[in-house]
């Protein structure tokens, strides 16, 4: 298996190696906020987060739908702290309307992944589901091993070389 094939295989499974994603949003004054949220992902690489309307990142998403997300290797599993595996995406957030077919399907996926607590969230009116649609990204495996991901081909890695 070539280096790019190995990276591609790792890219396909990496998001599922973690249960939460770091979410970076911006408020109306341009002040950034970093937080996290458990997630599920579909085959098109859309990321879904189920979050409280009281959370700062949720309020920010209503104001500004541009969001950056980061999946990052657990520190305890990393061979080198300066070169943790990570996958980032630039995304646009869209609120999924409650009790629609799409919303129910996503809630079911959350319940399958995270258990009965999701049933409690389902009954709380302030909890919302956002679809985060990636437009570009970067997958870093280690020193000198980074790959660009472009919007129309989210399933294809392009090795970054030199000063790109």
Q: Nearest-CA neighbor of 112 among 19, 25, 2?
A: 19
Question: Which residues contact residue 72 at a Cβ distance below 8 angstroms, ignoring those fewer than 6 apart?
Answer: 18, 22, 84, 85, 86, 87
Q: How far apart are the C-alpha atoms of 42 and 22, rounded to whole Å? A: 18
**Tens digits of pLDDT across the chain (164 residues):** 888 899 999 999 999 999 999 999 999 999 999 999 999 999 999 999 999 999 999 999 999 999 999 999 999 999 899 999 999 999 999 999 999 999 999 999 999 999 999 999 999 999 999 999 999 999 999 888 999 998 788 989 999 986 64
Domain annotation for the chain: domains and CATH numbers: 3-159 (2.30.110.10)
pLDDT at 163: 60
pLDDT at 144: 83
Handedness of CA 48, 112, 126, 71 (dihedral sign): negative
Q: How far apart are the C-alpha atoms of 49 and 23, rounded to whole Å? A: 10
Beta bridge partners of 69: 23, 89
Q: Nearest-CA neighbor of 57 among 124, 137, 123, 132?
A: 132
The predicted model scores a pTM of: 0.93
Where would I find the H helices in 18-134?
56-63, 101-114, 117-122
Q: How far apart are the C-alpha atoms of 73 and 141, rounded to whole Å? A: 10
């Amino acid at each position: 298996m070539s280096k790019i094939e190995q990276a591609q295989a790792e890219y396909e499974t990496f998001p599922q190696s973690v249960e939460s994603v770091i979410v970076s949003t911006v408020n109306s004054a341009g002040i950034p906020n970093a937080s996290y949220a458990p997630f599920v992902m579909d085959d098109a690489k859309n990321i879904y987060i189920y979050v409280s309307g009281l959370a700062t990142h949720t309020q920010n998403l209503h104001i500004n739908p541009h969001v950056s997300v980061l999946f990052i290797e657990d520190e305890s599993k990393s061979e080198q702290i300066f070169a943790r595996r990570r996958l980032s995406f630039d995304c646009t957030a869209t609120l999924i309307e409650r009790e629609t077919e799409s919303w129910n399907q996503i809630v079911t996926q959350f319940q399958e992944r995270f258990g009965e607590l999701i049933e409690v969230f389902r009954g709380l009116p302030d909890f919302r589901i956002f679809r985060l649609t990636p437009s570009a990204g970067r997958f870093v495996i280690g020193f000198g091993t980074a790959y660009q991901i472009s919007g129309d081909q989210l399933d294809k890695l392009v090795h970054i070389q030199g000063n790109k």
